[in-house]
Amino acid sequence: MTLDNNRHMKLLLLSNSTNVGERYLEFSKNQVQLFLGTKKLTVIFIPYAAVTFSYDEYESKVNEAWKVIGIEVKSVHHFSNADEAIKNADAIVVGGGNTWKLVKELQQKKLLSLIHERVKTGIPYIGWSAGSNIACPTLRTTNDMPIVEPKNFHTLNLIPFQINPHYIDIHPKDFGGETREQRIMEFITLNQNLYVVGLREGTMLHYDNGKLKLIGKKPARIFKYNQPIKDMDSGEDFNFLLK
């Protein structure tokens, strides 16, 4: 898959929801407002990654964060027919949490292909953490514990590369386990055709009009089998990832 023929798609893929010392989704609000525009939209929220709190609580938390920019989401769990809700959406937002649970719910409700088709027509898609993970071909670069078992690892396949959200390259003192970099190196050794983007917190990937860019003050780390690991800043060209 490439994105060459999908210039209508609009994606905003955040590494995380909260930066240290900030309110929930605070760092994203200006970009979200620019991304969605000022027109009143029907924004459908997918809360299925939530585990330790309710879908109602999740919806309220997002609305509280974004009310200052005039954006209100409606969670899909309120609708008796989730298909119709997504078909009538002007934008789709997928929250973070546990990626395994998110994928299992979407598979059980048979919503993955529908969301894929709606986003391909050009309705904006916003995700953070697990919501960014599922924009990839598979969930296999999530950091989450597999607390449930989905049917398979397939996700929305909106982009032809993998994202590792919350990417960190810190190796704590007295910790002898594998680093995040080592885990990703294992992945690309067995999946040699795929790029992996280590997306650091406070950053996001934006795709629109056939162009992909990084937004944020921290660089993204790019992994590909048999290629040097490299950090790339927001001003650099990320379109090579689209091929």
Q: What is the CATH number of the domain that holds 90?
A: 3.40.50.880
- Using alpha carbons only, what angle is made at residue 132 by residues 184 and 226, rounded to the nearest 5 degrees? 25
Strands 73-75 and 10-14: what pairing? unpaired
Question: In sequence order, what are the residues at sequence separation of 6 or more whose Cβ sits closer than 8 angstroms to the Cβ of residue 62?
Answer: 25, 45, 73, 93, 95
Q: 31 exposed, middle or buried (CB, 10 Å; 0-12, 13-18, 19+)?
A: middle
pLDDT digits (tens, 9 = 90+) for 225-243: 999 999 999 999 999 999 8
Domain count, the chain: 1
- Residue 129 falls in the annotated catalytic set: yes
| Token output for 14 | 């955040």
Is 102 part of any domain? yes
Asked if the structure places residue 1 within a domain, the reply is: no
Query: Per-residue pLDDT for 3 more than 90?
Result: no
Residue 139: inside a domain: yes
Q: What is the pLDDT of residues 147-174, one digit of tens each?
A: 999 999 999 999 999 999 999 987 767 7
Find the catalytic residue in 60, 166, 208, 234.
166
Domain membership of residue 49 (yes or no) is yes
From CA 203, how far away is CA 108, in angstroms rounded?
Answer: 31
**Residue 5 placed within a domain:** no
Instruction: Check residue 177 and give its pLDDT.
Output: 76
- The percentage of residues in the chain with a pLDDT greater than 90, rounded to a whole number, is 91
Residues 6+ apart with CB under 8 A from 167: 15, 180, 198, 199, 200, 201, 220, 221
Catalytic residue among 129, 154, 206, 237: 129
Nearest to 27 by CA among 206, 215, 154: 215
Q: Which of 15, 17, 77, 144 is catalytic?
A: 144
Domain that holds residue 206: 10-242
Tokens of 212: 């992909």
- Could you please report the per-residue DSSP string of 167-216? ------TT--S--HHHHHHHHHHH-TT--EEE--TT-EEEEETTEEEEES
Amino acid at 208: D
pLDDT at 175: 72
**Tokens coding 26:** 């605070």
Assigned domain for 3 exists: no
In tens, the pLDDT along 122-133 reads 999 999 999 999
Examine the residue annotation and report whether 166 is marked as an active-site residue of this protein. yes
Q: How far apart are CA 91 and CA 83, in angstroms?
A: 14
State pLDDT tens for residues 62-73: 999 999 999 999
User: What tokens does 231 get?
Assistant: 């950090």
